[in-house]
Amino acid sequence: MKRLIIPSHVLNPEILKWAMNRKGMTIDEIARRSKVDVSKLQLFFEGKDAKLTLRQLERIVRALRIPYGYFLLREIPREPEIDIPDLRNNG
């Protein structure tokens, strides 16, 4: 079966940086959880052609717990700020 390689110009490496910061994960942790080589992730992180396959991208998405489509966005998604009142009783 032929592997489907995702063209690097389609994917946004800024999303990887954003998702890593959001989850508090390092490239090594993502590599371990997704079983994708650290060198490939580093290339992608730097905006270079990492030649990621569709399966590898799916594993990265699962490790980061973000929607697959986020990597196709041009900008980092804005998360709504939810103002939750503190209803705890201090008494």
CA gap 83, 85 in Å, rounded: 6
pLDDT digits (tens, 9 = 90+) for 6-18: 777 778 888 888 9
CA gap 23, 68 in Å, rounded: 16
Exposed / middle / buried, residue 25 (Cβ in 10 Å: 0-12, 13-18, 19+)? middle
pLDDT digits (tens, 9 = 90+) for 7-49: 777 788 888 889 999 899 999 999 999 999 999 999 888 888 8
Residue 90 has pLDDT above 80, yes or no: no
